[in-house]
Amino acid sequence: MVKTGLFQDYPWWYRALIPLLILAFAQSALANAEPATLSLYCKDNRLTVSAKDVPLRAVLEKIAQQAGISIVLKGSAENRVSAEFSGIGIEEGIRRLTRGLSCVFLYDLKGGSTATWEMISVFLFAETGDQRVTTFAPGSSLEGPVTSGSEAILADSDEEGIDRLCVAAMDNEGAFSQLAELAIGGEDSEIRVRAVEALDRLGNERTRNPLIQALEDENAEVRVASVRALADFRDEKVTRALARAALEDDNPSVREEAVFALAQVGGKNATEALERALTDRVEFVRRVAAEALQGIER
């Protein structure tokens, strides 16, 4: 006897019954599955949550609406959340709900004479290659891919946006990269100045290279801001960059600021550059260089 295939040797009525049994089993499994549920309440910076297999994005959107804060998520976070807690601080609650993500919380002092710190923004970073940014705000959520560094983590690049990005860059490499890209590639010169000043406020070794790159900016104000920031470094790479700015930049204000910076940096190479600046074609640059050398000699 030749077998023609699975179930082919069974009566026709038996074969017809098999799909019905499979369908009934699937429907039963779906009926017995527990539905996703979410109950969330936020008041006085306290968070109460009862969540069962709920998409994280739905939880974040509800927190933003009830707490009146903006939540910025960079990267893909498709995980689902199950949690149960009552009346804990909102920061601790968000940390529990977003385990596996890097968190940065931004606070503002509000209330006049009885001022208290209030949370205004949360930045979440997923360790994925996805550059998508989603902003959950009290009134809406905005989502879209980041197509260039100049668009950054935030939807805007105004002064407040740069400040928020600076806070996020303190402990997140992705945020720092976005800030550095704004400093050297932002479409608007004012944005580049603010980004350079934000790098200066960070005050760590990571900022050296983007600040040196910013010395090549076409805008003199950006170059001046970069020179001022580099004055805090004490290494030969920075000294050479400042010396080049002091002696070769086509803007006298940049050269003057670079002379000031070299006086702060000090050292043999800085002194040699200051001596060469004594022959600058602009009188006030020569005067500043002479004063700087006198200060070094004393």
CATH number of the domain that 86 lies in? 3.55.50
Q: Are residues 122 and 199 in the same domain?
A: no
Question: Containing domain of residue 278, as a range?
Answer: 231-298
Choice between 107 and 223, residue whose per-residue pLDDT is larger: 223
- Distance, in Å, from the CA atom of 135 to the CA atom of 55, rounded to the nearest integer, reads 16
Q: Are residues 117 and 153 in the same domain?
A: no
Q: Is residue 23 part of a domain?
A: no
Structure confidence by residue, pLDDT tens digits, 129-149: 666 777 787 754 444 433 333
What does the block give as tokens for 15? Answer: 């074969």
The answer on pLDDT for 1 being more than 70 is no
User: Residue 288 maps to which CATH number?
Assistant: 1.25.10.10
pLDDT value, residue 133: 73
- Domain count along the chain: 3
Computed over every residue of the chain, the mean pLDDT equals: 80
- Distance, in Å, from the CA atom of 179 to the CA atom of 168, rounded to the nearest integer, reads 10
pLDDT value, residue 298: 54
CA angle 222, 226, 232 (to 5 degrees): 160
Last residue of a domain, one of 96, 114, 145: 145
Q: Taking Cα atoms as reference points, which of 276, 264, 277, 199 lies closest to residue 238?
A: 264
Q: Is residue 1 part of a domain?
A: no
- Distance, in Å, from the CA atom of 129 to the CA atom of 164, rounded to the nearest integer, reads 22
The separation between CA 28 and the C-alpha centre of its own chain, rounded to angstroms, equals: 46
Choice between 241 and 118, residue whose per-residue pLDDT is larger: 241
The separation between CA 200 and the C-alpha centre of its own chain, rounded to angstroms, equals: 16
The separation between CA 110 and the C-alpha centre of its own chain, rounded to angstroms, equals: 24
Q: Is residue 56 part of a domain?
A: yes
Structure confidence by residue, pLDDT tens digits, 110-130: 665 566 778 888 888 887 666
Q: Are residues 173 and 126 in the same domain?
A: no
Structure confidence by residue, pLDDT tens digits, 146-172: 333 333 344 444 566 777 777 777 767
Q: Are residues 131 and 67 in the same domain?
A: yes
The answer on pLDDT for 260 being more than 90 is yes
pLDDT value, residue 258: 96
Last residue of a domain, one of 145, 178, 208: 145
243 near 270, Cβ under 8 Å? yes
pLDDT value, residue 280: 95
The average pLDDT across 213-240 equals 94
pLDDT value, residue 142: 41
Q: Is residue 237 part of a domain?
A: yes
Q: Are residues 114 and 45 in the same domain?
A: yes
Q: Are residues 51 and 118 in the same domain?
A: yes
Last residue of a domain, one of 183, 216, 249: 216
For the entire predicted model, the pTM comes to 0.53
The average pLDDT across 219-227 equals 96
Q: Are residues 235 and 263 in the same domain?
A: yes
Q: Are residues 63 and 139 in the same domain?
A: yes
Q: Are residues 140 and 155 in the same domain?
A: no
Q: Is residue 82 part of a domain?
A: yes
The average pLDDT across 25-39 equals 63
Q: Are residues 113 and 51 in the same domain?
A: yes
135 near 70, Cβ under 8 Å? yes
CA angle 233, 238, 242 (to 5 degrees): 110
Q: Is residue 193 part of a domain?
A: yes
pLDDT value, residue 103: 84
Q: Are residues 235 and 279 in the same domain?
A: yes
> In 10 A of CB 120, how many CB atoms?
16
Q: Is residue 120 part of a domain?
A: yes
68 near 43, Cβ under 8 Å? no
Q: Are residues 116 and 92 in the same domain?
A: yes
Q: Is residue 250 part of a domain?
A: yes
